[in-house]
Amino acid sequence: MSSEHNTPRNPIRIGSRGSQLALWQANHILDALRAAGYHVELEVIRTTGDHMQEGAPASLLVGAEHPGFIPPPNLDGKGIFIKEIEEALEEGRIDLAVHSLKDLPTKLAPQFTLAAIPKRADARDVWVCEQYWALHTLPTGGRIGTTSPRRRAQILALRPDVTFVEIRGNVDTRLRKLEQGQCDALVLAAAGLDRLHRTESVHYRFAPEEICPAPGQGALALETRSPNHPATQQPDPARDAWIRNAVAFLEHPSTRFAIEAERTTLDALGGGCSLPIGVHCIPPVGEAGKWRMLAQVVSPDGETMIQIDTEATHETPSCTLGRWVADDLISKGALNLLPTPVT
């Protein structure tokens, strides 16, 4: 560990959004780096998406942590939650950005790289409802709080009679709105509830075969400047290389493989967090095991679903597996089920 770069006067500066979950994630990485002997500090950065959530009309107030976000024309629904963070990273005001991986566009700008992808948390979606402990027990016409196009389509495929309520905000806000009776049930990401120690609210974890998670769900991304792309302000390529090396111990190879496969499939289908696409890659069990890849593309009304369940050997590259799944989905008509992008 270089004493030249690892000093209290020149700590590793982590940039994060200020939401409850984003701060937990950033502090989780901060604690791991400090435990490894590094000097670290946290900088909270407000993003375009954060500002829009405060001032936008109700129809726009959903985003990467609020997955039904529908951006105005010419705005990237994923990018608005990382834009200012990446600007700070590019300029050199921060050294490391911690994101929910599903927030990131499928293609990063060349000046950035994912220096490490830590071990994934539970990627599944969960059912939260104190009175009715499973989707099939919800009365006809029950109100489910979710704005995610993916979750809505997948739930309609299982229960075409239910209705949806736009419930936004952080985890505690959504749980409070459920308690207030604004909806009968919530469907949320397991990882967020687990990380915030709200597992008492989880009554059922959907198997990926039932509700296939969003690509990258449950995983974190540690983003740094790429080699040959030093900071635009006070560039120091040697320190950038040291930063990338410092976070390398947080890398989890199986999680990276799974994420790369999932994001390859999503990219081939058009990318974006507003599409009703679920993709989930499951690591092998044992030396003789195989990678398993599940994918669902569902029409917005839930009436038509194309579902893939395939396996690949250890030797198969992640991007090859992701492309195989995308090609299989496309050959079965998946693109015809997806909404036409707004231009």
Supply the DSSP string of 9-41, one letter for each residue.
Answer: TB-EEEEE--SHHHHHHHHHHHHHHHHTT--EE
The DSSP element (H or E) to which 332 belongs, if any, is none
Phi, psi values for residue 291, rounded to 5°: -70, 135
Query: Which residues make Cβ contacts (< 8 Å) with residue 102, sequence separation at least 6?
Result: 64, 214, 215, 216, 217, 219, 273
Give the residue from 177, 125, 200 showing the smallest Cα distance to 155. Answer: 125
Q: How many whole angstroms from its chain centre is CA 88?
A: 21
Give the residue from 64, 69, 59 showing the smallest Cα distance to 83. Answer: 64
Cβ–Cβ < 8 Å for 187, 146: yes
Return d(Cα 127, Cα 134) in angstroms, integer. Answer: 7
**Number of C-beta neighbours around residue 41 at 10 A:** 12
Catalytic residue among 50, 95, 103, 240: 103
When computed from its CA atoms, the radius of gyration of the chain, rounded to whole angstroms, is 20
Cβ–Cβ < 8 Å for 325, 265: yes
Q: How many CA atoms lie within 13 A of 308 on its CB side?
A: 30
Return d(Cα 162, Cα 143) in angstroms, integer. Answer: 6
309 is catalytic: no
Give the residue from 196, 98, 154 showing the smallest Cα distance to 280. Answer: 154
Active-site positions?
Answer: 103
